[in-house]
Amino acid sequence: MKKNFLNLGKQPLANSFLPTNSKKILSKEFFYNLNVAFDTKTFLVSVAKPVNPEFQYTDQYAHRASESITMRNSFSKIANKLNKKFSPKIVMEIGSNDGVFIRNFEKRKIIAVEPCKNLARLTAGKYKTYPDFWTKSLAKKIFRKSKSADVIFSANTISHIPDLKQTFEAIESSLSPQGVLVIEDPSLLSVIKNNSYDQFYDEHVYVFSAIAISNVIRKSNLRLFDAEKIKTHGGSLRYYICKKNAKYKTTNNLNKILTEEKKAKLNQFKTYKKFSKKVKQSKNNLINIFKKLKKRNKKIISYGATYKSSTVFNYCNIGTKYIDYVTDTTLNKQGKFTPGKHIPIISPEKGMNESVDYAFLGAWNFKKEILKKEKEFIKRGGKFISHVPSVKIISS
């Protein structure tokens, strides 16, 4: 049974940056109710009523995974590791984005699946790319003959797909007998520990734990045999999954992670009720900081037009009254307006100037990378504001 525990209010699609802030465009903006629920049987945490993926993964999709050094490094590292560990002949990626992972492999080994047509076009010239949603019928089409995948990789994608049953069944039928599915997604334990409620938005239909993943995949004759903690997206888990009867033994690392999750009571509803209270507190604290700074006539901007910050701004009702603009390195976000709150987005070159007093860390998951990059800003007295793990001003 699904039980709601967190209401983040009316939210727009986190990816729906607006081309103008004209009345006509704003009047057509789509909003939905963002409630988050806990399944008392599988312990899976999910958006209570997911949005139709056809609205989300269009040919306008803005996110480019290769924009960040952190992500580029992370993907090249895991690609090398998978090559060494499993020597795959065929590697398939589900959600290949702009090719940041597959570019680490020889062309003949790769099958890419990417439903956003604008992104699929970026890799189609070099790699076999299917511009489609991952479904059973697509799996059948790809693996029509005897071919199967030795490694299926999917980062920050499986948690975006509402129909997990079909997703894992299609994976099970595409894997070779000793094939391995490797998935990466933000970790629920990190979300709870960091109070990072902004990991919930329309695209993050699920925030997985190892406990929930092992329960869910069991129905598709798959088995979780290993997991590791990784630093991306504010703390993620990488899961290693195989067919039920494959040779892989359960690792100590997985057992440790499962024990830690049980200790944190991720399998109990009361944990989420507590979390929900802390989220409300975080909202109040953040609004208070903004109010105080504005009273002192401080100029506040936001750093990184992230999907996560869309949840924060819409939940906390923070708009242009507090934030002058958002800076982002992504070219196709610049010149647009943030979803729901319609804050203009400009380049960091333009935006990170002498007049800025405070920058809200919308991209808090890249805090280290950003603080290193913005040494000058900090040196001249500029300060960052973050709500993770608790609301505070960062001055060095």
User: If binding is defined by CB under 6 A, does position 11 make contact with ligand TYD?
Assistant: no
User: If binding is defined by CB under 6 A, does position 363 make contact with ligand TYD?
Assistant: yes
The rounded distance, in Å, linking the Cα atoms of 292 and 49 is 36
Which is it for the CA torsion 98, 101, 106, 112, positive or negative? negative
Piece of 183-191, 246-254, 256-264, 358-366 that binds ligand TYD (CB under 6 A): 358-366
Shortest distance (Å) from residue 306 CB to ligand TYD: 3
Piece of 91-99, 222-230, 328-336, 380-388 that binds ligand TYD (CB under 6 A): 328-336
183 forms beta bridges with 154, 239
Residues 62-81 that bind ligand TYD (CB under 6 A): 63, 67-68
Ordered alpha helix ranges (H), 11-58: 23-27, 53-56
The rounded distance, in Å, linking the Cα atoms of 253 and 251 is 5
Shortest distance (Å) from residue 68 CB to ligand TYD: 5
Q: Residue 78 in 3-state DSSP?
A: helix
CA distances from 10 to 30, 162, 249, 315 (A): 10, 20, 45, 8
Which one of residues 330, 371, 378, 394 is an interface residue with ligand TYD (CB under 6 A)?
330
Of 169 and 328, CB closest to ligand TYD: 328
Count of residues that bind ligand TYD according to CB under 6 A: 20
Which one of residues 127, 366, 377, 384 is an interface residue with ligand TYD (CB under 6 A)?
366
- Break the chain down into helix, strand, coil percent, rounded to 5: 40, 25, 35
Piece of 20-28, 32-40, 166-174, 369-377 that binds ligand TYD (CB under 6 A): 369-377
210 Cβ partners below 8 Å, 6+ apart? 224, 227, 237, 239, 254, 257, 258, 261
User: If binding is defined by CB under 6 A, does position 365 make contact with ligand TYD?
Assistant: yes
User: If binding is defined by CB under 6 A, does position 304 make contact with ligand TYD?
Assistant: yes
Amino acid at 315: Y
Which one of residues 60, 280, 369, 393 is an interface residue with ligand TYD (CB under 6 A)?
369
Of 308 and 336, CB closest to ligand TYD: 308
Q: Which tokens hold the place of 255?
A: 């057992």
The rounded distance, in Å, linking the Cα atoms of 140 and 132 is 13
User: If binding is defined by CB under 6 A, does position 305 make contact with ligand TYD?
Assistant: yes
Which one of residues 223, 294, 298, 373 is an interface residue with ligand TYD (CB under 6 A)?
373
- Applying CB under 6 A, the residues found at the interface with ligand TYD are 63, 67-68, 304-308, 327-330, 333, 348, 363, 365-366, 369-370, 373
